[in-house]
Structure formats: structure tokens, C-alpha cells
Amino acid sequence: MRYSREEILRRLRGQIAQGRPIVGAGAGTGISAKFAEAGGADLIIVYNSGRYRMAGHGSLAGLLAFGDANAIVKEMGEHEILPVVRDTPVVAGVMGTDPLRRMEHLLAELDTLGFSGINNFPTVGLIDGRFRVELERTAMGFGKEIEMIHAAHERGFFTSVYVFNPEEATAMARAGADVVIAHIGLTIGGSIGLACEDAIRLEKAPAVVQSIGDAAKRVKPDVLLLCHGGPIATPADAAYVLERCDAVGFVGASSMERLPVENAIAETTRAFKSVSIRRVYA
């Protein structure tokens, strides 16, 4: 791995001490990673849904059998992201419930490639209903993700984990997670995001994030709390939440990659289209 857990935590705590939030940026392409770093991101996070996102599909596609999630993150890391990121820890999103892999071997491969941290995505935390019950029953449940994070922690990786409720936060903190990211649903907005009315309201987000953070800190007081998703789609949304709870930062994936790209490309194209040409005679 490129950076040790201790080095990463020292950097992150340094930011907090200066009153600055921790920002994690999801990167589906090398250029996203490069410019997230240029913008000051503290962590670059690579997962399979980033590839789908930048191919014009929703992030939720990362849960489905469009590809082997763990193989994709290895490939993205090795050939796109790690070669262009200069001085920022890169975190690998690992599908800890993959029954076709030995996690120790995968973690060793990610270590060799130069990843500094591990995250649990794709995550079954986004799945509910009887299908989720079946996943839990057949050893493909959230418990496998906890095991994977514990193994990563034991290996010396920095770990930042998505959790969806206080119980999961408690379990991940016990497993040694350095950062708990309160996931409050798919990010709204843009061409392929969730509709606003389908997400939790922004006003409710701080309480949800706080309850998750409280549960994690009861087990591991020095754990860092971040937030992600749902109605938190812009810097103003993040500011609103961070002012009202103990979260010390934000992880953006669609909000920091897809949405800016959609807006910037559309506006720039419009600007080029508005340029005048001289009259051409037939």
C-alpha cells in the first residue's frame, strides 16, 4: 500500500484541526481522480459503480451483474486511477460478500497495486426486503462486509465504511473501521439520479447521520464520521448537514463526478453552439 493507516489518519486529523472538512471523492475515471486531487480531496475512492456512472448509467448499476465488481476495481485502480494520483490516498471499494473470492488474497492484491484503503462497496446495505433476508441467511449479508473490513484493518489498511443504521455502525466500529460514512441513500438529481421526492429530506439528514455517529463512537470514540448520498448533492447541502451534526466531512461520488460533468459539459457545449459563424454562400 502507498500510505499507511497512521499516515492517512494523521493527514485527516490535521485537516479537522484546521477546521476543514474531510472530503472523499469517488472517481470513475483517471481524469476525475486527477482533478479531485487538484481540488483538494483528502481521499480518492474507486469502485465499480464509478465506471458505470461515467458510462452514463446510475450508480446503483454497481450492485447488479453487469460485471465482476472486484475485478473492475482492480482494473480501474491499476490502469486508470493509481497511475495519475500523485499524493492522495486511494481507497478501493470491495464487494466483501463476493462468494467467488478469497478476501485475504484480494486484499493482498489491492495492497500490491498500491491502494491505501478499503471501503465496502458494492454493499448489501442498499438492498432490503426478503432478498436481503436471503442474503443474510446464505452468508452474503452485511456480516461478510464486516469480516472483510476487519481483515483489511488487520492487514494495516485504512478503512472507511458505508453504514445505513446505528447497528451497522456499531458492528463496523468494533471491526476496526477508521471512518464511518453515514449513507443516506442514492444521490438525487441530474440525468440518472434519484428524483428529489424519492430521497430523505435534507432537514432530516443531520439527525440520521448523528445517530449513526453516536453508535460508532460508543464503541470506538476516535472513529471519524462522514456523510454521503441522498439529498446531499451540493456543497451547500453538505454545509447544512455538517453545521447540524458531528460529521467532520463528506464523501461524494455522483455529487462530485457525475453532476459536475453533466453541468459543465452541457454548458460548455451550449456556449460553443452560441458562437456566431460568418454567412456562407451556397
CB 134, min distance to other proteins, A:
4
CB 248, min distance to other proteins, A:
28
How far the first Cα of the chain sits from its last, in Å, is 63
Does residue 81 contact residue 56 with C-beta atoms inside 8 Å?
Answer: no
> Quick one: 32 or 123, whose CB is closer to other proteins?
123
> Quick one: 34 or 53, whose CB is closer to other proteins?
53
Per DSSP, the three-state class of 219 is helix
> Quick one: 96 or 249, whose CB is closer to other proteins?
96
How many whole angstroms separate alpha carbon 259 and alpha carbon 186? 13
Per DSSP, the three-state class of 250 is strand
Residues near other proteins (CB under 8 A) are 48, 52, 55, 57-58, 60-69, 95, 97-100, 122, 126-135, 137-138, 140, 186, 192, 194-195, 198
> Quick one: 3 or 52, whose CB is closer to other proteins?
52
> Quick one: 128 or 203, whose CB is closer to other proteins?
128
How many whole angstroms separate alpha carbon 218 and alpha carbon 106? 31
| Maximum CA extent, the chain | 77
> Quick one: 131 or 246, whose CB is closer to other proteins?
131
> Quick one: 198 or 203, whose CB is closer to other proteins?
198
CB 16, min distance to other proteins, A:
33
CB 274, min distance to other proteins, A:
32
CB 282, min distance to other proteins, A:
38
> Quick one: 71 or 84, whose CB is closer to other proteins?
71
How many whole angstroms separate alpha carbon 180 and alpha carbon 209? 10
Q: Which three cell numbers stand for residue 96?
A: 466483501
AA identity, residue 149: I
CB 80, min distance to other proteins, A:
17
How many whole angstroms separate alpha carbon 277 and alpha carbon 106? 56
Query: Residue 52 — φ and ψ, nearest 5°?
Result: -70, -40
Instruction: Give the dihedral sign, CA 198/202/207/212.
Output: positive
Instruction: Give the dihedral sign, CA 250/13/91/182.
Output: negative
3-state SS track over 129-172: HHHHHHHHHCCCCHHHHHHHHHHHHHHCCEEEEEECCHHHHHHH
CB 75, min distance to other proteins, A:
12
CB 228, min distance to other proteins, A:
16
Question: HSE of 109 in the Cβ direction (CA atoms, 13 Å)?
Answer: 16
